[in-house]
């Protein structure tokens, strides 16, 4: 996928000119490639997200009374959902969206994450024939997943309405976090206005790190995934009607576009983003 930077905005994504066919057959190492919802009510989550984004889904059995949901947009996978495990719930892990980054080797990336001061909390391990993964916590406390693809590349559609288009890292220590991720994935930083740092993987702008003072005190470090929508106001209104809590927005982020941050009916946070129109 090719993305062109037009201009920076105050504190959110640059305006992006998107390709006419945002379908992908593979993801470059360092690219955000998959999102996965861990939730307390999988069936309710399916109803919410299929209604909001027009997704369809396929459920695959994973054991007695357990299944994995693959969300699709025009028959191309865009994300997934599963029910939080008892061990996660007992530790107080709330419903949340996991963000995945493609890597050439899950084992080598996990080892490097440890060298850079991160913590590998799960893996590396094989996910059947689909790929190999690990879950990492960065030095500031945010978690992210790494994915070495085999039969499953991740999302087959990105940066069109109903699919992943951006991710922000919310952290109390942007400098330490940036050093970690740039060392781990080879990302580079491009300064924006107001202290916002844009993240670049190769030539592609993929996300950013807002300054710490933009975050409410006590907010745990985390990655916020953005789903592109065609009409931010209509999508925000629909999310509210479906039971979501609107936390921020809709709000303009200059010529980049408009955004909303919501909490779904089970409590998982997600951002919506409408790309600004040229001219």
Superfamily of domain 159-275: 2,3-Dihydroxybiphenyl 1,2-Dioxygenase, domain 1 (3.10.180.10)
Q: Tokens standing for 161? A: 């309405």
Answer yes or no: is pLDDT of 79 > 60: yes
In angstroms, the Cα distances linking 53 to 157, 167, 262 are 13, 18, 14
Answer yes or no: is pLDDT of 2 > 50: no
Mean pLDDT of the chain: 90
Give the start-to-end residue ranges of the domains of the chain. Answer: 32-149, 159-275
Q: Tokens standing for 155? A: 């999302």
For residue range 152-208, list pLDDT tens digits in order: 999 999 999 999 999 999 999 999 999 999 999 999 999 988 899 999 999 999 999
Q: What angle do CA 233, 247, 76 make, to 5 degrees?
A: 60
For residue range 223-239, list pLDDT tens digits in order: 999 999 999 999 999 99
Write down the pTM of the prediction: 0.90
Task: Give the model's pLDDT for residue 193.
Answer: 82
Same CATH fold, 159-275 and 32-149?
A: yes
83 membership: H or E segment, kind and range: strand 76-83
Count of C-beta atoms within a 10 Å radius of residue 50: 15
Task: Give the model's pLDDT for residue 279.
Answer: 44
In angstroms, the Cα distances linking 241 to 51, 244, 265 are 10, 7, 11
DSSP state of 251: E
Superfamily of domain 32-149: 2,3-Dihydroxybiphenyl 1,2-Dioxygenase, domain 1 (3.10.180.10)
Please, are residues 101 and 144 in contact by the beta-carbon 8 Å criterion?
yes
**Residue 201 main-chain phi, psi, to 5 deg:** -110, 105
Band of residue 278 on the pLDDT scale cut at 50, 70, 90: low
Range 52-68 average pLDDT:
92
């Amino acid at each position: 996928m090719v993305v062109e930077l037009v201009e920076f905005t105050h504190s959110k994504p640059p305006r992006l000119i998107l390709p006419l066919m945002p379908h992908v057959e593979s993801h470059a190492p360092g690219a955000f490639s998959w999102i996965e919802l861990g939730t307390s009510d999988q069936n309710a989550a399916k109803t919410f997200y299929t209604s909001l984004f027009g997704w369809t889904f396929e459920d695959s059995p994973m054991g007695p009374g357990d299944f994995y949901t693959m969300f699709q947009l025009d028959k191309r996978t865009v994300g997934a959902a599963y029910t939080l495990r008892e061990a996660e719930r007992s530790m107080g892990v709330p419903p949340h969206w996991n963000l995945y980054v493609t890597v050439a080797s899950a084992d080598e990336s996990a080892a490097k994450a440890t060298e850079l001061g991160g913590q590998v909390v799960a893996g590396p391990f094989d996910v059947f024939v689909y790929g190999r993964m690990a879950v990492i916590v960065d030095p500031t406390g945010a978690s992210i997943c790494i994915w070495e693809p085999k039969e499953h590349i991740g999302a087959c559609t990105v940066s069109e309405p109903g699919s992943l288009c951006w991710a922000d890292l919310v952290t109390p220590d942007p400098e330490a976090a940036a050093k970690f991720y740039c060392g781990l994935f080879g990302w580079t930083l491009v300064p924006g206005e107001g202290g916002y740092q844009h993240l670049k993987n190769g030539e592609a702008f993929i996300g950013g790190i807002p300054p710490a003072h933009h975050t409410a005190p006590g907010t745990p470090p985390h990655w916020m995934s953005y789903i592109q929508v065609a009409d931010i106001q209509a999508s925000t209104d629909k999310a509210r009607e479906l039971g979501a809590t609107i936390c921020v927005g809709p709000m303009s982020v200059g010529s980049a576009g408009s955004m909303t941050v919501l909490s779904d009916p089970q409590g998982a946070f997600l951002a919506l983003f409408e790309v600004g129109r040229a001219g």
